Amino acid sequence: MNLSATSLTLGLALLSAAPVGAGETPARKPNIVLFYVDDLGWSDASFMGSEFYETPHMDQLAAEGMVFTSAYSNGPNCAPSRACLMSGLYPPRHGVYTVGSSKRGKAEDRKLVPTPNETVLADRFVTIAEVLRDAGYATASIGKWHLGADPRTQGFDVNVAGNATGSPRGGYFSPYKNPDLADGPEGEYLTDRLTDEALRFMEEHADGPFFLYLTHYAVHTPIQSKAAERAKYSGKPPDGDQKNAKYAGMIDSADQSLGRVLAKLDELGLADETLVVFTSDNGGHGPVTSMAPLRGAKGMLYEGGIRVPLVVRWPGRVVPGSRSAEPVIGLDLYPTFAEAAGATLPEGMEPDGLSLVPLLTGAGGLARHALYWHFPAYLEAPKQLGRPFRTTPAGAIRMGDFKLIEFFEDGRLELYNVKTDVGETENLIATPIKAYKLHLNLTAWRERVGAPVPVELEPRYVAPIPTELDPLYFAPSGAPRRRADYLAKYALPQAPPASSSERPPNVVLIMADDLGYAEVGCYGQTKIATPNIDRLAAEGVRFTDFYAGAPVCAPSRCVLMTGLHTGHAWVRGNRGKPVVGQVPLPLEAVTVAELLQAAGYTTACIGKWGLGGPNTTGLPNLQGFDRWFGYLDQWNAHDHYPDYLWSDDEKVLLSANADGVDGVHSHDLFTEEALLFLREREPDEPFFLYVPYAIPHVSLQVPEDSLAQYADRWEETPFEGGHYAAHPKPRAAYAAMVTRMDRDVGRILDVLAERGLAENTLVIFTSDNGPSYAGGADSKFFASAGPLRGLKGSLWEGGIRVPFIARWPGRIARGTVSDHVSAFQDVLPTLVELAGGPAPTGIDGVSFAPTLLGRGDQAQHDYLYWEAPVGGWRQAVRKGRWKAVRTNMKQHSPLKLFDLAADIGEEHDISAEHPEIVREMERILASARTESELWPLEVNEDR
């Protein structure tokens, strides 16, 4: 087909870095050789650890290039992997899911009617061969095609031996019975012949550039090797289940083929100008080899079926002998080749893979969300396996270190940490909190790409009697499990039915930034007006003993989002860089937003995020929020008249604030966006709106209409500025910021009422930590912490005890006060419980829903724990009325003990009087935390 293209050309910086002067020859485009072996398993080469197979040329390539140890095929068998490779698209976009019919096996064994399968890659898809041919490349497909009759209809100038068949019909020895390959001398070996054809193509196109797709039929069945190669392995000691001499001989011949190709590049003087990629289309054939330590084999979504060897050699660009554990997939080769060639992508084409050029050249990493597989088909098992199918309809996702497999017949899920458990031996679904995130992302991806999931029952299906070989009905221990029990234990929670008479509440969570415990009227503030927050307290419950997650912004937000205290949290401090942002949440983090998404909520985050910057795993849209608007980077949030904000993945420039002009205040934009979100909601649609305002955190910046209320009220000493903006009336500015925020809390409450949403909306107001000590903020003047000791950054009560107010008309008693001891980690389980979900496991939080609703079954914390990597690393624990603080963990400073019931200001250290309590607190402090690679104890972060 003809290639329609846009002017968007992928440029490779390394190929164009040096300017071309008059009379100079432009840099030559690299030749590209893709050496594609059929059914070669992850462990089927000596550079991948095999002690049975001898692969000196594969080993040579590995020594001269980069080895990817977590490389994946696009599918568990041949055709879908090749269709994805050629098109750059996942299977649901082109419909090639399997080989041949999706109804493989006996009808009585198939529970579902599988999705129909395409066996031909449609002409409407622009292949990588077409992209490269239009970029001036000579193109050749030599060997197995398996995507239709002739690869010359899909961008290849030359086709040798490629057609619709997936295996050599005449076997590996001539005569081949292949209409697209003339027979050679009797006994000629197919792998050798295809290599001869490849060398001939290289010679004819030595002036380049050329794209050689050498796609061997080997080592696919039938298992046939030359006599000499077979004899070489016949008496060799096996390496586990790698012991088949015929199969080893096939690998040996494939290795010789690679060696000949590399030698020809050297002979032609092309080695330094050629990008060589070596890989396989899927896992190895189980009956003849072993993928150990991986589980499974070809045809399965376990690692042994889809993890494959991958080596890339590119002299001068790739460091020889380098290795990468970055998860990559065959789909990545399409954009990689296009970028390497400086080629033009098809109009509107957005490959599902990512270019590997940054990884190969050391220029950067990959902004990868996840890898996906979709196999809505049946694949019968070899007789040796002793069961009907290798794979029933299923899907899988890998995010970070974790991989989830979903089997469509019964909804069963399996979760593995494939970094620490590459053999997938421990199914982690019994503690399902991590599974929520992966399953949510998998289902969202299926919706995004239109992936069909089989649901229609096969009328001829006959339910089997369970046997020990059937993992659907037997636990790994061999003990039988009833399916109902299995699903009750392992299935993910579902949203409450739409017909439920008691719909879960909407949730609006408003969080101030650096607002002190006593900076609102209902907590004792006398100088700053906060009538709307006070009204919220009068209409709901006010907590007196509620704590932030940490004494500074980022870790406190991490605790709020994940339900893990700072001894277990991913983010434990404010470390980060301007623009780049703070330490990001990893993909495996499970946030309250994701759990509410799982319960059917629409989610939005509007304000200051602080848990990951651009192109990181911490982006709000990757952490459970359907809608995101605000500051990613906390440093950027120090300016309330910023040059830009983020709207989902778009950087929005604020022209009104250009050149330092105070044009539009970010707080006002956040409020308007929050109100818009509320106005778009329907009464029967549950939602979670998280509004982490960026004020009253300094800089002291506020519009004049708010400043006027306090402008001449107090004696002022101008703040001269520094890191934060200067202000002539810092007290007035600070009070005005708080009151402006209060005004907008009122506007949010008013819109809820106008929309008829107030009665079924839980509104929460809190702060992320104690009041500020910098930037002109005068916490002493305003008595910002009330009777509490300390400010932001400290683990004294003033640094971590915060206001917390909740209103839910008709469910929370009006005007009540609670001394229930709770903290940010409790918000996640509380909201999940109110949303109708099961109690999450593996977190530190305890739901305080019983306290909100006036029930008598409130569980209590054994203790609350904090740590802060500042000033020598600080620790604190509260247990009942007792509070212990260590001001310097690195020096193991003495523990200070306080009785908060008698001494809320922490003025009297009574540790000497209660040695038994000190010992108990020491025990808690030692056991409450885990070490973190990101936050090693020797790090000292004073900022």
Query: For 108-117, 206-215, 425-434, which range has the lowest pLDDT when averaged over its residues?
Result: 425-434
Average pLDDT in the 727-741 region?
Answer: 98
* Closest residue by Cα to residue 205 from 124, 270, 145, 155: 270
Q: What angle do CA 753, 755, 757 make, to 5 degrees?
A: 65
The SS3 assignment for 671 reads helix
Cβ distance 78 to 38 under 8 Å? yes
Residue 320 has pLDDT above 80, yes or no: yes
Q: How far is CA 552 from CA 520, 566, 573, 866, 891, in A?
A: 20, 11, 7, 11, 22
Residues pairing with 159 in the sheet: 141
The number of beta carbons lying within 10 Å of the beta carbon of residue 651 is: 11
pLDDT at 388: 84
pLDDT digits 0-9 by tens, 687-721: 999 999 999 999 999 999 999 999 999 999 999 99
pLDDT at 384: 64
The SS3 assignment for 85 reads helix
> Quick one: pLDDT band at residue 433, thresholds 50, 70, 90?
low
- The reply to whether domains 369-492 and 862-943 share a CATH topology is yes
696 prior amide bond cis, ω within 30: yes
Tokens of 928: 């409450």
Separation between Cα atoms, residue 641 and residue 561, nearest integer Å: 27
Residue 379 has pLDDT above 90, yes or no: yes
Cβ distance 651 to 660 under 8 Å? no
Average pLDDT in the 424-447 region?
Answer: 86
Residue 431 has pLDDT above 80, yes or no: no
- State the DSSP H helix or E strand holding residue 548, giving kind and residue range, or none if neither: none
- Given CA atoms 131, 134, 136, 141 in this order, what sign does their dihedral have? positive
Residue 209 has pLDDT above 50, yes or no: yes
Class of domain 369-492: alpha beta
Q: Which residue has the higher pLDDT, 20 or 577?
A: 577
* Closest residue by Cα to residue 827 from 631, 688, 925, 932: 688
Residues pairing with 582 in the sheet: 576
Residue 601, CB half-sphere, CA atoms under 13 Å: how many? 31
Render the burial of 812-824: b for 16+ CB within 10 Å, e for the rest. beeebebebbbbb
For the chain, what percent of residues have pLDDT higher than 70?
Answer: 92
What is the residue-wise DSSP string for 86-145? HHSS-HHHH---SSS-SB-S-GGG--B-PPP---S--TTSPPHHHHHHHTT-EEEEEE--
DSSP character at residue 107: G
Q: Which residue has the higher pLDDT, 635 or 523?
A: 523
Backbone angles phi, psi at 13, to 5 degrees: -60, -35
pLDDT at 668: 98
pLDDT digits 0-9 by tens, 355-374: 999 999 998 888 788 999 99
pLDDT at 617: 86
The SS3 assignment for 545 reads coil
> Quick one: pLDDT band at residue 11, thresholds 50, 70, 90?
very low
The amino acid occupying position 939 is: V
The set of catalytic residues is: 78, 146
Average pLDDT in the 782-805 region?
Answer: 98
Tokens of 634: 């906390």
Mean pLDDT estimate for the chain: 91
The SS3 assignment for 820 reads coil
- pTM confidence score: 0.72
Cβ distance 822 to 846 under 8 Å? yes
pLDDT at 863: 98
pLDDT at 599: 86
Backbone angles phi, psi at 435, to 5 degrees: -65, -30
Strands (E), 632-779: 644-647, 650-653, 687-692, 761-767
Residue 16 has pLDDT above 50, yes or no: no
pLDDT digits 0-9 by tens, 86-123: 999 999 999 999 999 999 999 999 999 999 999 999 99
Class of domain 862-943: alpha beta
pLDDT at 2: 35
Average pLDDT in the 415-426 region?
Answer: 96
Q: Which residue has the higher pLDDT, 575 or 75?
A: 75
Separation between Cα atoms, residue 310 and residue 280, nearest integer Å: 7
Residue 469, CB half-sphere, CA atoms under 13 Å: how many? 11
pLDDT digits 0-9 by tens, 668-677: 999 999 999 9
* Closest residue by Cα to residue 265 from 195, 335, 320: 195
Separation between Cα atoms, residue 519 and residue 785, nearest integer Å: 7
Any idea where the domains of the chain sit in the sequence? 27-89+125-365, 369-492, 862-943
Dihedral Cα 548, 552, 556, 558, nearest 10 deg: 180
Cβ distance 573 to 941 under 8 Å? yes
Average pLDDT in the 542-557 region?
Answer: 98
The number of beta carbons lying within 10 Å of the beta carbon of residue 372 is: 24
Tokens of 51: 């002690």
Separation between Cα atoms, residue 97 and residue 112, nearest integer Å: 16
* Closest residue by Cα to residue 15 from 339, 354, 360, 363: 339
Backbone angles phi, psi at 495, to 5 degrees: -65, 150
* Closest residue by Cα to residue 928 from 862, 855, 880: 862
CATH, domain 27-89+125-365, list 3.40.50.300, 3.40.50.2000, 3.40.640.10, 3.40.720.10: 3.40.720.10
pLDDT digits 0-9 by tens, 125-141: 999 999 999 999 999 99
pLDDT digits 0-9 by tens, 445-489: 999 999 999 999 999 999 865 444 333 333 333 333 332 332 333
Q: How far apart are the first and last CA of the chain?
A: 59
For the chain, what percent of residues have pLDDT higher than 90?
Answer: 82
Residue with tokens 């590399």: 262
Dihedral Cα 691, 697, 699, 703, nearest 10 deg: 50
The number of beta carbons lying within 10 Å of the beta carbon of residue 344 is: 18
Q: What angle do CA 451, 457, 458 make, to 5 degrees?
A: 110
Cβ distance 250 to 219 under 8 Å? yes
- State the DSSP H helix or E strand holding residue 722, giving kind and residue range, or none if neither: none
Average pLDDT in the 255-282 region?
Answer: 99
Residue 644 has pLDDT above 50, yes or no: yes
Average pLDDT in the 58-84 region?
Answer: 98
> Quick one: pLDDT band at residue 581, thresholds 50, 70, 90?
confident
Cβ distance 671 to 532 under 8 Å? no
Average pLDDT in the 648-660 region?
Answer: 91
Cβ distance 696 to 738 under 8 Å? yes
**Alpha helices for 125-177 (secondary structure H):** 128-134
Separation between Cα atoms, residue 693 and residue 851, nearest integer Å: 26
